[in-house]
Every structure is written in C-alpha cells, then in structure tokens.
Amino acid sequence: MCIMSSNPELGLASMYRVIKKSGADRVSDDAADALRKVLEEVAEKIARQAVELSLHAGRKTVKSEDVHLASKNILKL
C-alpha cells in the first residue's frame, strides 16, 4: 500500500544536490525525479514500520530508535 500523493514531500533541488555530491557532472530532470520517488517509497516504508514499533512498545510517539530499527529492517543494514 503506497500512500504517496501527487505532491511529493522531498524537494527536487535536494535530489540534484545528492546526485551531484555523489560525483555527477550533470543530472537529468528524470534522474532527479526518479531518485525522489525511490527515496519517498523507502521513507514511507521505514516510517510505517517505525509507527508499528512505537505502537508495539505502547507509545504514541515515534522515537529515533524506532526509525533506526525500522531502517535496519527495511534496508537490511
């Protein structure tokens, strides 16, 4: 279930900067947009699992430890 809307949460300019900082001389609009979509999907999965972890712990507040654990589970770090 993907709840991404047509209004992205991450800025396109940030995607250009990330790709350029990674060594690219030039970045196409399609590449920046593709990175944004991928990162938003991954972020949504991590956030969803972090919420589940906080609820399992009996909390309403998502803590950084929930996000870290969820990212390890999602990204298999």
- For residue 65, the tally of other CB atoms under 10 A from its CB is 12
Is pLDDT of 5 > 70?
no
Phi-psi region of 76 (alpha: psi -120 to 50; beta: other; left: phi over 0): left
Q: What integer pLDDT is reported at residue 3 of this predicted model? A: 55
Is pLDDT of 4 > 70?
no
Is pLDDT of 1 > 80?
no
Is pLDDT of 75 > 90?
yes
